[in-house]
Structure 1
Amino acid sequence: MTEAPIPQFLDERLAWWAEHDPDGEAMTYLDRTWTWAQWNDRVRRAAGGLRDLGIGRGDVVAFLDKNHPACVEISQAAASRGAANAIVNWRSAGDEVDYAVNDSGARVLFVGAELMPTIEAIRDRLTAVEKVIVVTPDGADGDEYERWLAASEPVGRADDVTPEDTCLVMYSSGTTGRPKGIMLSQANMLAHTINAHDGWGFEPGDKSMVSMPLFHVGGSSYVLFGMHDGVPSVMTRDPDGASLAGAIMKGANRTFLVPAVLAQVLQSGPDAVKVFGKLKTYTYGAAPMPPPLLRAAMEAWPDTDFLQVYGLTEVAGVATHLLPEHHRDPGHPERLLSAGIPIPGVEVRIVDPASLGDVAVGEEGEIWLRTPQLMQGFLNRPDETAEVIVDGGWFRTGDMGKVDDGGFVYVQDRIKDMIISGGENIYSPEVERVLAEHPAVLEVAVIGVPDDTWGESVKGVVALKPDTTATADELIAFCKASLASFKCPRSIDVIEALPRNPSGKILKRELRKLHWGGRDSAIV
């Protein structure tokens, strides 16, 4: 088969596979499967439908639902019109949906049927939305989205579209204030797709499991991998154990998931471990992987390639990766604690956040990135964009870290999450790694809490493995065996489960609120 040319536009590879492998399997979702030709036809019809609704270059549509191929179709179709898809977190409350849809300026809103009550309650506040189209999970008779597609004329890409046009608006987690709309162009997304492929290695017969939420860059960027390489994808509506196992049984053997999923699998018994052993590649990211969990997974699945990624929505996803050979390198076991090396097309600097000068190898500073993957900016927020994209096109991540003499990047903490106790800088991941080694600890978060003497003191919050026990005093003593005294937690809470956002990140701000409420602190 002729090799596909390097794409310039987001919809280019789908059209190429529709021409060169029209009957090949492209996407499976629940009980439906589409070939490349069928999927491309749906995207072209969606583009025609958007054209008829007056959507053109610079416009925005929005999508609110659990994972659904229709979201990918609308992203592709909007891009072919020079427009953007603002993908809204389906777990958001009504006021949060109201904010995101209005902030994006979306003129058309696609909504999952089960989420329509949320929209009906705020419909009068969505003043820019001209049309709402309802999507059902199974596309059964009466599905408004399917009727809209069937009635639309297939059209090609609009003549005025450019690779620099924004194609996705992804809303940040909103750890401080309102979430920011991160504008990613077609060129950003394609650069990421090509660069982050390094070390991935799809082979004939592979299938890609798409289970990360599409409102997260880990979902909307990752789904492009299969489309780029002409590899079938199996998309799950939810990332629960039964859905993931079902996708694997349908042949999915490469995936990207958060570490919390891996922990659940290992605790689900030998049958679950055996099913997940069918995976050729387990890529993980979006949250730290506790070293004991990683070692247990590598032992449970000796034939699986593990690949860690570190990145941010602002760079379309992945910036560094720890490749499979790095995971099992007996000469450098310490590099399991790193986030790996920069992917092609990404430059890394470690900068003193005060002097803005580069620090020496091995010293901590703020991680700066420069890459063609870098966002166009924050929607409607030029001043905040200027704060993070500085001279020379460098992006200030807000993450503290270091680089070793081999070029491996170690992510220490968020700048705002760094604990300063008695003038000492304490990086919570260092303490978390020690606590995670305790045989009773399942998951852990370390935060700074008010201390009238030291300003802040270190506090641990842990959840224990089933059928285990551990007291706070025991856990503190465990830390003292491995850490300097000023780094050790002064207190530890044992709770049932740590709060997480939909992408699996532990919500430290929720833990801090219990202690910083009513105080003048900027770190909540």
Structure 2
Amino acid sequence: MQGLTLSWLAERNAYKFPDKEAIVMTPVDGGRTAITNDTFDKRINQVANGLQNRGIERGDKVAVYTTNSIPTLETYLGAMRIGALPVPVNHRFQAEEVQYVLEDSDAELLLFDDHAAEIVDKIHDEPTVPDETLFYGTDRPDYADDYVDFREQSGTNSVEIASSRVDEAMLMYTSGTTGDPKGCLLTHDNIIQMTVNGIVEKALEGRDVNVDGRGLIVTPLFHIAAFGMFVNNYYAGATTVLMDGFEPNRVMDVIEEEAVTSGFFVPMMARALLAVDDFDEYDLSAFEEFGIGAAPSGRELKETISEAFDADLQEAFGQTEMSPTTTFLQPNQALEHPDSVGKPVLNVLLKVIDPKTREVVEPGEIGQVCYRGPTMFNGYHGMSEKTDEVFDEEGFFVSGDLVRQDEDGFVEFVGRADNMIITGGENVYPAEIEETLHEHPAVDEVAIVGAPDDTWGERIKAAIVPVDGQEPSAEELQAYVGDRLADYKKPREFVFIESLPRNPTGKVLKSPLEQEEGQLVGWES
């Protein structure tokens, strides 16, 4: 082995912390299953041997279409141990989307579970679905072999084949908000360097890495952010507390019962946790770090979280192509810079460029953010032209995100380049308006889109999900924005809906909102 690989972490932890809990599975519907580091390492070897027995070789792809579970992680690391690449499949995908990923990745084997069985039943005879299929769950179909039998019938001898830290470790697909998902090739070093960045960032602020920590993961492991959190825990020798979904009351119970020390939540989840009945009755004394990200969160939410959980609040920002974290907002910065996603992490170089000229913009100006560093992916699987398009002449990855960076280095996310609205000749960035409306006490969720307009080119349209029991008016919300932002940034059209449309990854889909008929207000201005 040349350098540190992800699967070697299991061997190391089994040697150094054999009896410590590696993973504690706490399903949403109740129950608890725990395995030690020693057991986890043995199971990884069993999976690796079993895959080899099925003809899986170095470089082959192993698709994993499951909700969060211990077998999910066993299969990820078992495949990595023999140099194969796990391919996490979004467990919210429907049949056509699953087939796309299986075909695009050239998967040689598929693991699926009860949650995915209905979809796989529809497509298992299709040529895109691998002949080798394993099932984990309670009602196994005839065409699939039982995962537990597959694992238990295999040997526990070590079979580490991934010889280098720069070997490709996994094929992780993007969320596909603006087209088909793209498969990002990530190396062992990409992902481990992401973890090293996080450890160093904590050390720079004088915070200790908690070797005895218990990190909660409720977001799905098919996403690099959740898998990255597992690696963070595992690298430090800490325990991962895993859930297969999000139910606010159950999450609060698990935080208390498992003495959870850290967790990561999107803003929607954070609001739901804060709204749990009898919140103040929970024992949160062990909870030290509340991570937030994936969507805008303003000062009010950050202040409420910090006070309610009495924990360090930290925010991360990034994308799959960067493994994923690129910027980090430290706890001592979160309330001083609530609209920021922090500064670039230690081993990520960042520049902001004009999308047209490709020249670096001045501090405070909005531009397209670009990154370079050891966490940068190897390229898109099977898409060499697209890969060439996203790298500039200096080797920077050119993302589709628009940001502004101030003179102190703090980065503020202002939106996706393809979501920018041009109204009356002015560029408007939805994230800024969304953050402002999120602060209104009657607004639960909001999405800003552009609607065609004969006079202005585009008008700003707000889709609002009100807080239960609240009925804010369009005029009230427009005035709220107008008191805080420039007049041209005020929404002129409002749609009130029960929920925002989302893709299978949970990201808001804005194109359907453009078709919704809304209420025009304040148009005379």
| Structures share fold, TM-score greater than 0.5 | yes
Contact residue 47 and residue 155 of structure 1 kept, 8 A: no
Q: Which residue number in structure 2 is paired with residue 11 of structure 1?
A: 7
- Aligned position for 1:230: 237
- Structure 1 pair 263–502 and aligned structure 2 pair: CA distance change class (3 A): farther
Does residue 419 of structure 2 align to residue 402 of structure 1?
Answer: no
1:287 has 2:289 as partner: no
Aligned to 1:84: 85
Deviation at 1:455, TM superposition (A): 1.6
The equivalent residue for 2:510 is: 508
**SS of equivalent to 1:85:** strand
Task: Find the aligned partners of 2:8 and 2:109 in 1 and give their Cα distance.
Answer: 24
- 2:348 alignment partner in structure 1: 346
Secondary structure of the equivalent of 1:337? Answer: coil
Per mean C-alpha deviation after superposition, the further-off stretch among 357-366 and 501-510 is: 501-510
Q: In structure 1, what is the equivalent of residue 452 of structure 2? A: 450
Contact 1:57-1:161 at 8 Å conserved across structures: no
Letter in 2 for 1:312: Q
Residues 271-282 of structure 1: pairs in structure 2 closer than 5 A: 271=279, 274-275=282-283, 278-282=286-290
Aligned-residue offset at 1:158: 4.2
Q: What value does the CA root-mean-square deviation take over the aligned residues?
A: 2.3
- Cα deviation for residue 256 of structure 1 reads 1.3
Please, which of 312, 324, 341 is the counterpart of residue 317 of structure 1? 324
Query: CA 1:111–1:126 in structure 2 vs 1: closer, same or farther (change >3 Å)?
Result: farther
For residue 225 of structure 2, the aligned residue among 214, 218, 223 is 218
What are the within-5 Å matches in structure 2 for residues 351-366 of structure 1?
Answer: 351-366=353-368
SS of 1:398's partner is: strand
2:177·2:507 contact (CA, 8 Å) conserved in 1? no
SS in structure 2 of the partner of residue 461 of structure 1: strand
SS at match of 1:125: coil
**Contact map agreement 1:75 1:167 (CA 8 A) in 2:** no
User: Per the alignment, do residues 319 and 75 of structure 1 end up closer, same or farther by CA in structure 2, a change over 3 Å counting?
Assistant: same
Identify the residue that residue 387 of structure 2 maps to in structure 1: 385
The percentage of aligned residue pairs carrying the same residue is 31
> Aligned partners of 2:355, 2:138: CA distance in 1, in Å?
47
**Cα contact 2:80–2:162 (8 A) shared by 1:** no
Greater shift, 193-202 or 206-215, is seen at 193-202
Q: 1:63 is paired with a residue of what secondary structure? A: strand
For residues 245-272 of structure 1, what are the alpha-carbon distances to aligned partners after superposition, in whole Å with 9 as ceiling and x for unaligned?
Answer: 2321222221112111110111223336
Shift in alpha-carbon separation, 1:204–1:138, aligned structure 2, 3 A: farther
How far the C-alpha of 1:44 sits from its partner, in A, is: 0.8
Query: Is the Cα contact below 8 Å between 1:112 and 1:134 reproduced in 2?
Result: yes
For 1:84, give the aligned amino acid.
L
Aligned to 2:18: 22
Match of 2:414 among 412, 415, 426: 412
Amino acid at match of 1:178: D
1:282 and 1:497, CA in 2 relative to 1: closer, same or farther beyond 3 A?
same
1:204 shift after superposition: 4.9
Give the 3-state SS of the residue equivalent to 1:255 in structure 2.
Answer: strand
CA distance, structure 2, for counterparts of residue 153 and residue 138 of structure 1: 26
Whole-Å Cα distance in 1 between the matches of residues 191 and 181 of structure 2? Answer: 21
Residue 431 of structure 1: SS of its match in structure 2? helix
Alpha-carbon spacing, 1:240–1:138, altered in 2? closer, same or farther (3 Å): farther
Amino acid at match of 2:263: T
- Say if 1:62 and 1:109, in contact at 8 Å, map to a contact too: yes
Question: For 1:322-366, what per-residue CA distance to the aligned partner results, in whole angstroms no more than 9, with x for missing partners?
Answer: 0111124xxxx3x11101011110011010111111011111111
1:245–1:275 Cα contact (<8 Å) kept: no
Structure 2: which 5+ runs fail to align?
Answer: 27-31, 519-525
Equivalent residue, structure 1, for 2:29: none
Aligned to 1:153: 155
Aligned partner letter, 1:183: L
Q: What is the TM-score normalised by the length of structure 1?
A: 0.91
For residues 64-91 of structure 1, what are the alpha-carbon distances to aligned partners after superposition, in whole Å with 9 as ceiling and x for unaligned?
Answer: 1110121111111111111101100111
* Runs of 4+ that moved beyond 6 A: none
Q: From the superposition, tell whether residues 205 and 19 of structure 1 become closer, same or farther in structure 2 (CA, over 3 Å).
A: closer
Out of 165-174 and 59-68, give the one that drifted further. 165-174
User: 2-side partners of 1:129 and 1:24: how far apart?
Assistant: 36
Contact 1:14–1:228 (8 Å) recurs in 2: no
Whole-angstrom distance in 1 between the partners of 2:507 and 2:409: 26
Contact 1:287 1:506 in 2 (8 A): no
SS of the residue corresponding to residue 493 of structure 1 reads: strand
SS of alignment partner, residue 438 of structure 1: coil
Cα 1:159–1:294 change in 2 (3 A) is: closer
Unaligned runs of 5+ in 1: 517-524
Tell me how far apart the structure 2 counterparts of residues 217 and 418 of structure 1 sit (CA, whole Å).
Answer: 26
Q: Which residue of 2 aligns with 1:521?
A: none
CA distance in 2 between partners of 1:417 and 1:509 (Å): 10
Equivalent-residue separation in structure 1 for 2:9 and 2:185 (angstroms): 22
User: What is the number of equivalent residue pairs in this alignment?
Assistant: 504
Deviation at 1:407, TM superposition (A): 0.8
Displacement after TM superposition at 1:28 (Å): 1.0
Indicate conservation of the 8 Å contact 2:60/2:85, yes or no.
yes
Give the superposition deviation at 1:151. Answer: 0.7
1:15-414 equivalent positions in 2, closer than 5 A: 15-30=11-26, 31-127=32-128, 129-136=130-137, 144-159=146-161, 161-197=163-199, 198-199=201-202, 201-248=208-255, 249-271=257-279, 274-275=282-283, 278-301=286-309, 303-328=310-335, 333=336, 335-414=337-416
Taking a change above 3 Å as real, the CA distance of residues 509 and 194 of structure 1, as seen in their structure-2 partners, is farther
**Counterpart residue number, 2:477:** 475
Residues of 1 paired with 2:326 and 2:139: CA distance?
36
Q: Distance in 2 between matches of 1:26 and 1:143?
A: 27
Contact 2:495 2:517 in 1 (8 A): no
Distance 1:273 1:372 in 2: 44
Relative to 1, partners in 2 of residues 1:490 and 1:379: Cα closer, same or farther, differing over 3 Å? same
d(CA) in 1 for partners of 2:37, 2:139: 19
**AA of the residue aligned to 1:10:** L
Matched residue, 2:523? none
